[in-house]
Chains A and B, each alone.
Chain A
Amino acid sequence: MADFLPVFFVFAMGLSLLVYVVLDGFDLGIGMLLPLADEGDKNVMIASIGPFWDANETWIVMGVGVLLIAFPHAHGIVMTALYIPVTVMLFGLTLRGVAFDFRVKAGDDRRRLWNNAFFGGSLVASMAQGWMLGAYITGLDRSPTSYAFAVLIAVTLPALYVMLGGAWLMIKTEGELFERAVRWTRNALLPMGVGLLLVSIATPLVSERIAERWFTLPNAIGLMPIPVACAAAYLVIAWLLRRPDVLRGGYGHFVFYALVLICLMAALGLAYSIFPDIVLGRMTLFEAAAATSSLEFIFWGVAIILPLIGFYSAYVYRVFSGKATELSYD
């Protein structure tokens, strides 16, 4: 149990953060696309995420929560080192979160202000998350190269979120807004692709340890499915986005699935690069883990309740399935 539990919890943490990136990723992406739409479309776009965003955002609390619960020694180090980007992200998430309600409840004269807050909050939160991820991959290093690497991810992650947001709109909307979503997604494709490629090249350059792991035989061969799957997913997206007729024919959601595949592969690659460390080069997950008695107490909760959460989340998505038109309290 003593060896199994830390691994179980690092898996739970990784899974929660991956789910967060996909689910709140499309929320934040739609937030960043907001200024491109007219007022009517803005309402539909926000309606397409309105019933879900709150639960989606809870996944980051879960991810950071697991870090705090299972790896309290690492939690302090990580959170202290990321003090500034975490604060910036929290400002962004706060503005984005309250803008959902304020833009329709504070009066028409303030609607523009809250639309801007929605956009600005989404953008700032996305970039800050990229910065945090970058700083984490470099082992919370403070050299100029590491900062440059963090900046690179800080501009790549928003592009990925915009793609997710556009793909979500292809699932949830129709008519002119659908066409616009296809265009927006197509425009974000190249920046995302270049960004991901640069990140993949830069990661082994900033970390010798990661380079060692990836570029020694026979590991390199076993790892080939990861880049190959990413490239294939990218090509599928590129092909689909040039065929609006295929997308309209009901294949729009494949863009979303292909993006999820890219996120999953990136997460697997990252996990392989870092395991068994929790703070790269400084602390392993076994060193950081909480006492076994505490992990056992929470293990049963996670093992029983997490599937239940997955079950009722799926139910909520089913209740609100189909094209989004309007949100009404009635």
Chain B
Amino acid sequence: MTSDTLVARRRPTLTEHRAVLLACGIVYLAVALWFWHNQVIPSDSTSRLANAYYTLFSRDPHLAAVGFVWNPLPSLILLPFLPLKVLLPALTQQSLLAPLVSAAFMTATVGVVHDLLRRMTLTRTPRLILTAAFALNPMTVLYAGNGMSEACFLLFLLLATRALYQWLTVRKVESLVPAGLAIALAYGARYEALAPVVALPVVVALVTWRLGGTGSRAALARVDAVIAGLPGVLAVVLWAVASKIIVNQWFATFSSEYGNSAQVSSGSTGISSVTGDDLGGRLAYWSQQWLGLAPLLLVLLVLAAILAWRARNPGILAPVTILGSVLAFDALAFLTGMSFGWLRFQITLIPLGVLLAGHVLATWRPLGTARVAVTLTLALLAIPSTLYTLTQPELAREESEYVTAAGSARRSDLARVDARVAADLDAMNLPDGAVLADAAVAYGVILASDHPHGFVTTPDRDFPGAVTDPRGHNIRYLLLSADAPTDAVRTGRYGPDAASVPVTGVRTWSDAYGNLQWTLIAA
């Protein structure tokens, strides 16, 4: 083959790739702007943006202000863009930056899925249909535009999947490097990546041991496992050590009063009222979510596994190892009562289904039109089924907050209240460090404020002292949330009982339904 024909063959897929990226970029940008315009950006997105914001613009700017409860990458990645707030204040004050960045991440994720399907040697039509099955799935579209860390997480998981696929099919050891690095970065985004941090080196070792050539296969397997696993292990260890040094907790996600475990236990009555208290109830709930997002995944999995076995094609191990291990981790966490069971914890089902379908098409021989049609249908059925699931407030407890009218009204109202509090405090022309507030609950207020230096917040190094002795730290006011169980400022003054919060003060703010949200009291 001459280089001319190589170029000629490359060009269509390259333009196709660019077209896919462009189309997704535009759609996701529109979705991001919709979330921003309607002010229904989820509080987790705002809070991660705020974590980045504190490191540069709080009263006590330092990198550790990014916090250790949530893995830092989704916040750190925002840092270079934060100074742009000078040009466009909405980036931070209305959290616009978060959805813009998640849209970019999800666009890149679609690019990786498309490229992986190309590497699976799919022809153009099924390749584009399957890319669309991922890109246009309502879960993908929602999480492209809402600024959550899922898009970032998915990107790194799929980069790892692609690299592992490359390694499994071409067996060049260099491919293990990007796989390992991507998993390390995925752990930077979400702690569920602990599962592939373990699964990746284990699978790599087993494959090398099973398929390795001559010589010491066990020793080769060990080296390959280290190449694939070291970056991830290092990411876990480093983050733990940094947490231990700075906030004296190895895994703040699990042990902090703001962390996941604390939230699960403080909200456990709420969770179990929906999901059921026993294992059976949880299992039923979890299966409903699973079937809702990927109704025929098991069929695809069995089919793909049989075909892979027949074709002796180990590529299927890539999506199953990376995406499957994340699913397994979340399932285990939920079934043992250690997680919320949010629908988004199952978002990896979407790319997994698409890639399994891709693998079926890559290995099913002879591949007639009927077989192509059946496979694509199996994959595409996830779209209507997901759409239905998202409108079920019981199954999609978070998502229904912005896809249903009532939910989005509630959400945007809270954003408005935060902005109102910020504007009122700004109007008081207080000196720096006059208002004490817990960043874990007041992030929306601090972000919306024109005068972020006015707040003494959790990441500030003098915060603990200010909570015990506000006046000694020149605090004039305490901003108290009405009922957030983790508000250290309020519990520091009034104890854990939400009922003891004063309903009058220097000022109070309520939402549109008349519920008290914030109270400002004199120090």
> Do A and B form a real pair?
no
Which residues does B use to contact A, with CB under 8 Å? none
Which residues does A use to contact B, with CB under 8 Å? none
